[in-house]
Amino acid sequence: MVFDNSTYFISHLKKKKNRFDKTTMVLGKYIDENYGTEQANAIYNATAPIRVDDLQGGFITANSMLHGAFYDVNGDFIPLSGFNEVQFADVPLNAHTMRLSLFVGDENAFQVEAGKFATVFEEYEVPEDGIFIPKLIIPKENTQNEIAT
């Protein structure tokens, strides 16, 4: 393998910004911030659990922080972790997941991300862990198959 000056081997693991997958919503429900339970309400949809264990002790935000709560690794509600109508939330040290409520119709522009401030919307993409190798060059003589030119 040959690398030029601008090439480096393992760069980073690919992370995605938007953690909200609209295909996993629970329709007609909101998250009760006092108990972490789903409650029926036709104007809301609830997110499925969203992983936040990599943000413990940090912050998470969404472009709409309505009725939300945090849960531990066993899926149990973390007492006093609920929130409603805030700009961002502190991720408890024992949090594994969180759930949020969003208004029906907001799912195509809803974004959940790390930090204290919502940024420009990006579509959700399935997270990928892997190795990013830019400009990897493998000379023809080091391959087993012909390389089309």
Residue with tokens 């006092």: 34
What is the C-alpha to C-alpha distance for residues 110 and 106, in angstroms, rounded to an integer?
6
Across 67-87, average pLDDT:
95
What is the C-alpha to C-alpha distance for residues 48 and 50, in angstroms, rounded to an integer?
6
Tell me what pLDDT residue 2 has: 45
Tell me what pLDDT residue 4 has: 47
Across 115-126, average pLDDT:
89
Across 85-106, average pLDDT:
95
118: Cβ contacts below 8 Å, ≥ 6 apart: 61, 62, 63, 111
Tell me what pLDDT residue 138 has: 57
Count of all residues that appear for the chain in the document = 149
Q: Please classify residue 70 by burial: count the beta carbons closer than 10 Å to its beta carbon, then call 0-12 exposed, 13-18 middle and 19+ buried.
A: buried
- 53-57, 80-84, 134-138: which has the minimum mean pLDDT? 134-138
Residue with tokens 């969404």: 62
48 contacts 26 by C-beta, under 8 angstroms: yes
In the chain, alpha helices (H): none
Q: pTM higher than 0.85, yes or no?
A: no
Residue type, 9: F
Confidence of residue 98 (pLDDT cuts 50, 70, 90): very high
